[in-house]
Amino acid sequence: MDMFLNPQQVIEMIKQAEKEEEVIVIRCVRKTAASKPGGPDKGDLFDLHCTTKPKDYVPKTAQDRQAQDEKNGVLTVYVTNRNDRETGKPGAWRTVNVSQVKKVIYKGAEYEVAVVGGYSKD
């Protein structure tokens, strides 16, 4: 049985996973090619393992990231399957274009993402 989500439900599910300190996997379509040689190319699918931001996290700027995300139709998430660009250690921030999410895997259930008639933030 297929289960479907719309983009707003994807956002809500990611936020719920963060609150519960759970990992949620989102499978997205790349907008650009990976910077690392041999990495995924533009249009390839890739997974991000999203989780709660580190407890000792201190923002580097005073930007209102949530307002910026809403304005641009994206979501900034903390992922465990990518390395930080500065430290090289696991855990990094990524911006997800929610309309490019194709599948969500959460608590053992897989959900396809259906965009019917385009995505609206309203």
For 73-107, what is each residue's pLDDT tens digit?
889 899 999 888 888 888 988 988 888 999 999 99
Say how far apart CA 121 and CA 8 lie, in whole Å.
8
pLDDT tens for the chain, 122 residues long, are 568 898 889 999 999 999 999 999 999 998 888 887 887 889 999 999 999 988 887 777 667 778 888 888 889 899 999 888 888 888 988 988 888 999 999 999 999 998 655 444 43
Q: How far is Cα 85 from Cα 2, in angstroms, rounded to an integer?
A: 37
pLDDT at position 87 is 85
Question: Across-strand partners of 104?
Answer: 26, 111
**60: closest CA among 34, 23, 86, 35?**
86
